[in-house]
Chains A and B, each alone.
Chain A
């Protein structure tokens, strides 16, 4: 099986530190006393709680229903009693709480009725729904709902399906062990993905520092008679980045502005393929995952951990050494420091690393950028990080976008090599969040403006309608009054008998239209006048009653308007482009 490999530019080779955690097979983490299952564990909408406090749940029971298409369900990791549905600290850098289902396990670990799906006979749409309802998301760490990635672009057929077993982050070995121990299920899961996408080829990319995994996967592919191609790719961080792996295996480069299916390629993590297969073939939803526990611990190992297990319980399994000062979730390149060990294991938890001052020494003081270009040299997206850094520092966000800020995948290669020890990625995150928040503000201000203008337009329309109504009413009234005026004309006629006789003989045809017209006109004018007066009376009240927020928005709108008029032609370059680009 000769596979031509493409390179990707840049990348770094940090110490891999993978050996300690592959010495033992995957262990089953014991059931903790309490499970804290966050409802929101994937990108997309937050699932709604489907259980109540005090309710008995079974292992695998749906406890959070997918909220909309871009969302994934959440299930009870074991049988037990729901103690509460409350805010609990989340495994997130911010440490902010999130809505969490607290379960007290009953120890019986009793499954719900599991119904294997015959996915071959089902409509693809049904299979995708089944995956969503089983909570299958990208287990590489991005937790993107998998079913949403299983639709080919309408115009481009899927040429290659890439199964990502590269696992390039140092310390991390959960995918390695999964591939060694459960290769067949990964291959079967890949086959399901392939069918759903009607992909022509399946390429399984594994970094060449995992020969056992490569061998296990190759053997499984052969045993199952599939024609998936298992490819060992050069070990270089971030070879496991989806876009980098796609590049290496297919030569295709997916820019930030495109989805990979538009280029006829899609990528899934090996663990995702594994859980997808379990979900369909056994009816087992995603209630646990393999987590690497390593770093400054006596017992580095991979554990199959139930989602919701407090990190404190997990790290205790590794017996952290005395000088452990922190814990990272994810790898050392892209992970984050866990703010609170009360936070639970979630679908995104691929690795927990105990850190010590020797393992992760404090970052040396930041020096000025000397434009050495080392960052550009290693950037896998071929950006100019130092330029982005200057612009981000200067808050010149328009320029950061011109220099493709949103193509940055935050892999950390630039920060890793920077001789001045500048935390470049932090600057890029800052710039991105500033642009997003400005974008949001702008949208909010525009929405407020639109609302305001709509309200004015409505008020005007209503006034005009009212005026018209009044005018119509007045006309009707005057025409009703006309017979009366004709009847009342005799006294007039008395004073001018000649005319009166003429009037009497030709009853009120000539003068009435004149009269009615004038009257109508006058009524309309009066109504308009009244409407104007009312509007004048209403409008000040309208701006007086604004909340401070609205006032700020209006002030911002006015300021921007003034700005726009001041700078003509408007500097299009400095206008933030759409953040989503």
Chain B
């Protein structure tokens, strides 16, 4: 026998299986994305995947690690997909490639590779790119903009000048900008009702992408790939904070549902704050991690300088994970009454 340590039987789990299930969990959101914005996202996913695998292969080679084993574990693909979905869909190819390579090479392998990164690689990529290329990173296509697939591809390839067509911003950005420019003369309900970028309960169309992530996330929870603590903490705090401010001044603050279904809330709740490697590991820790990330995300998104705050919120919370884990160790079997 090739090994002689108990247990001699193993469960069906493997890292590859876990990663594969995360990818499957992303599919409903991707489907909504394609339905709303066209198939260009598939190209972005592909570009990111190739870049991630290339970066992974290079780093594995440099580090003298077995290529086949780690390239096929699926972790690089998950990072790649999250980057592709977090970036504007018509972002030029080099932005996605650059972001992905940074995530894989710096955020993952320079920290020791799979399982060792203290920060979420996809969020590092997002943060680096939004700091470095704020304009490109905030140009989201308006949904009214009906682009053909060829046109979309040309945008991604950088063949069409971008400025004149990129009319849209994200709903979050649109709201923030309008409120800022309006200087108190405009109020949120009117904006939400009149502007075309807003839909039934959040950004037009984007709300359905969010619903897709929600569905995929619930499926992951049901499959026990993720636990409920981090998503609930995250969405809960986002909802609570938004609700409190909305009740206090509905003219000035958007309603909580708008926040839950706008920007990266759902993607963040089910696919980012649930990252096992960079997140907290204890049950209470996950709740705290998600809750604090939700608070930070709201504050950055509403009061901060960036349209959405998920990336910075998660990265800031990644820093706190060792501390959270240390103070949330659960009592063990037989010691519950002693604490």
Binding site for B on A (CB under 8 A): 8-9, 12, 14-15, 170, 243, 247, 253-256, 258, 325-326, 328, 332-337, 355, 357, 360, 362-365, 367-374, 376-377, 380-384, 386-387, 403-404, 407, 412, 415-421, 423, 425-426
**Known interface pairs A255-B335, A384-B281. Does A370 touch B8 (Cβ–Cβ under 8 Å)?**
no
Which of B13, B18, B276, B334 is A255 in contact with, Cβ under 8 Å? B334
| Alpha-carbon distance between A370 and B274 when the two chains are bound, in angstroms | 12
Return chain A residues, CB-CB under 8 Å to B276.
Answer: 370-373
- Interface on chain B toward A: helix, strand, loop, or mixed SS? loop
| Alpha-carbon distance between A382 and B277 when the two chains are bound, in angstroms | 20
Establish whether residues B332 and A362, one from each chain, have CB atoms under 8 Å apart when the complex forms.
no
- Tell me whether B9 is interfacial, beta carbon within 8 Å: yes
Establish whether residues B334 and A258, one from each chain, have CB atoms under 8 Å apart when the complex forms.
yes
Cβ of B312 to closest chain A Cβ, rounded Å: 22
**Known interface pairs A335-B6, A367-B69, A383-B332. Does A419 touch B18 (Cβ–Cβ under 8 Å)?**
yes
Return chain A residues, CB-CB under 8 Å to B334.
Answer: 243, 253-256, 258, 381, 407
**Known interface pairs A369-B115, A371-B276, A373-B281. Does A255 touch B1 (Cβ–Cβ under 8 Å)?**
no
Return chain A residues, CB-CB under 8 Å to B161.
Answer: none
Establish whether residues B8 and A355, one from each chain, have CB atoms under 8 Å apart when the complex forms.
yes
**Known interface pairs A253-B336, A380-B333. Does A418 touch B13 (Cβ–Cβ under 8 Å)?**
yes
Return chain B residues, CB-CB under 8 Å to A423.
Answer: 3, 5
| Alpha-carbon distance between A41 and B329 when the two chains are bound, in angstroms | 39
Establish whether residues B15 and A367, one from each chain, have CB atoms under 8 Å apart when the complex forms.
yes
Using CB atoms, name the residue of chain B closest to A247: B333
Binding site for A on B (CB under 8 A): 1-11, 13-15, 17-18, 66, 69-70, 73, 75, 113-116, 224, 227, 276-277, 279, 281-282, 325, 329-336
Which of B10, B115, B279 is A416 in contact with, Cβ under 8 Å? B10
Return chain A residues, CB-CB under 8 Å to B281.
Answer: 371, 373, 376, 384, 386-387
| Alpha-carbon distance between A360 and B70 when the two chains are bound, in angstroms | 24
Using CB atoms, name the residue of chain A closest to B65: A368
Return chain A residues, CB-CB under 8 Å to B332.
Answer: 255, 381-383, 404, 407
24 cross-chain CB contacts under 8 A: A253-B333, A332-B6, A332-B7, A332-B8, A333-B6, A336-B4, A337-B4, A355-B1, A364-B14, A367-B114, A368-B113, A368-B116, A370-B75, A377-B224, A382-B333, A415-B10, A416-B9, A417-B11, A419-B15, A419-B17, A419-B18, A420-B15, A421-B14, A423-B5
Return chain A residues, CB-CB under 8 Å to B114.
Answer: 367-368, 370
- Interface on chain A toward B: helix, strand, loop, or mixed SS? loop
**Known interface pairs A9-B333, A380-B333, A407-B333. Does A362 touch B69 (Cβ–Cβ under 8 Å)?**
no
**Known interface pairs A367-B73, A382-B331. Does A412 touch B15 (Cβ–Cβ under 8 Å)?**
no
| Alpha-carbon distance between A325 and B2 when the two chains are bound, in angstroms | 10
**Known interface pairs A367-B69, A371-B281, A381-B333. Does A332 touch B15 (Cβ–Cβ under 8 Å)?**
no
Return chain B residues, CB-CB under 8 Å to A371.
Answer: 115, 276-277, 279, 281
